[in-house]
Amino acid sequence: MSATKEPQRSYLVTGAASGLGAATARYFASEGAAVVLADVQEEAVTELAEQLGAHSRAARMDVTVESDVVDALKKATELAPLRGVIHCAGILTAGRVVSKQGPHDLEAFRKSIDVNLIGSFNVLRLAAAELMQVEPDHEGERGVVVLTSSVAAFEGQIGQIAYSAAKGAVASMVLPAARELGKFGVRVVAVAPGVFETPMMQAAPEAVRESLLAQTVFPHRLGKPHEFAQFVWHICHNRMLNGSVLRLDGAMRMQAK
């Protein structure tokens, strides 16, 4: 990105310390946008923001804390007019409804819902409120909120009960939110990724990786984070994409296990 050209728009990217969020922040910065990188891992996003240059900022943000999200949005508006929020933050929780150890831990289920679902809604509501204050463009658009669902919302595997519940609910929020916010020129879209080469997947046992790879039709590989970032960039610039949950999965359909 040019050091002299001032960006015309800014974006907030959550979960930007690694994986899909970090790739999205890098890609958007490379396209000339101002970017605020938000994550609970403050040191990691600070380091990445410094690498991306003068038009990037870091924010320590817990997606479930209103003041954290408000502060991160404010940083974005200070860089350039806010045009989008890309919400990639989330956690993976595994556990069967009933295992050899007994029923699923209720607090683990609550945490998945709290971070993955309530955190998504918290970001959505505060981002929408901020975007509604933005000067609309010639077609009346103010901006877009891109949420991250998952193929697990549709084909959850055994052991994904909490994660699937949360990501399915995220997917279900998209259309009613888009219908409500459309009159203000704010779009809402969700991406449902398949399995991507992220730190989480790199840490998975080889048997798990091979099983998931076998379920991907074409290309016969795991997704690359920059492919997610490219897709989100397109969503941000194609205003006919609205109210939809878009799969990005190489025709993967996950089996029961």
Catalytic site includes residue 163 = yes
The span from the CA of 229 to the CA of 129, in Å, is 24
Give the strands of the sheet with 143-148, arranged side by side: 56-60, 34-39, 10-14, 82-87, 143-148, 186-193, 245-248
Which segments of 29-173 are extended strands (E)?
34-39, 56-60, 82-87, 98-99, 102-103, 143-148
The span from the CA of 224 to the CA of 249, in Å, is 11
**What are the distances in angstroms from CA 93 to CA 21, 113, 120, 171, 212?**
19, 10, 16, 18, 17
Structure tokens at 74: 């404010």
Structure tokens at 94: 């595994």
Among 11, 28, 163, 228, the one annotated catalytic: 163
Give the H/E segment covering residue 50: helix 42-52
Structure tokens at 247: 């799969």
- Whether residue 85 contacts residue 147, with contact meaning beta carbons closer than 8 Å, is answered with no
Residue numbers annotated as active site? 163
